[in-house]
Amino acid sequence: MVIELRCARPEDVGRILRDEKEPADRSLIDHWSKKQHLEAIDNEATIYWVIVHDGAPVGHLIVQNLDDPNDSAFLRRIVVTLPRSGVGKAAVSKALDYLFRIKKLHRIWLNVKQGNTASAEFFSALGFVQEGTSREASKIGDSRYVSMDVFSMLVNEFEGDA
């Protein structure tokens, strides 16, 4: 699977807002406003990539806190619109290569909402380690709270191919 990661542009946001609605269970990921997406694209401590396959956008990947003093960045979100075709794995592998080798980060971490078993399987398959659980850390709607499983990868656990 050959994919490219290119920096998101404001004109990508309309499609990204539609992609956000793709997952069968909409509560699996947070849904942002157009303003939040535009702010993330503009944020210097954030990398906001569009995942491209065969010249067409097939998802997006957002990494925040690149300015963290502990060199620990937050993989905020990945959404793939061609599930189970290897796009997600190729995109995260490429992102990790950039983050560890070029940006010299030490740790990449992320949250998976409990119940999002596909994502937990996905990040485990890529070599992320579950560190623990942030109990009822995410609010859904007015009164429902969901726990988040915390996963991370350290630079010495990264198996790039260079």
User: Which lies closer to ligand COA via its Cβ, residue 2 or residue 104?
Assistant: 2
User: Which lies closer to ligand COA via its Cβ, residue 55 or residue 69?
Assistant: 55
Binding to ligand COA in span 59-98, by CB under 6 A = 77-80, 83-89
User: Which lies closer to ligand COA via its Cβ, residue 47 or residue 80?
Assistant: 80
Burial of 156 (0-12, 13-18, 19+ CB in 10 A): exposed
Q: E-strand spans in the chain?
A: 4-7, 47-53, 56-64, 72-80, 107-113, 129-140, 144-154
CB of residue 104 to ligand COA, shortest distance in Å: 24
SS3 106: coil
Give, as one character, the DSSP assignment of residue 103: S
CA distance 104 to 29: 28
Residue among 39, 42, 67, 121 that touches ligand COA (CB under 6 A): 121
CB of residue 81 to ligand COA, shortest distance in Å: 7
Q: Half-sphere exposure (CA, 13 Å, Cβ side) for 48?
A: 17
Q: By rule CB under 6 A, what string of x and - marks binding of each residue 17-56 to ligand COA? A: ------x----xx---------------------------
In the bound state, the residue with its beta carbon closest to ligand COA is 88
Binding to ligand COA in span 131-160, by CB under 6 A = none
Q: Half-sphere exposure (CA, 13 Å, Cβ side) for 29?
A: 22
User: Which lies closer to ligand COA via its Cβ, residue 23 or residue 69?
Assistant: 23
With b meaning 16 or more CB within 10 Å and e meaning fewer, what string describes 80-108? Answer: bbeeeeebbebbbbbbbebbbeeeebebb
CB of residue 77 to ligand COA, shortest distance in Å: 4
Query: Which residues bind to ligand COA, rule: CB under 6 A?
Result: 23, 28-29, 77-80, 83-89, 112, 116, 118-119, 121-122, 125
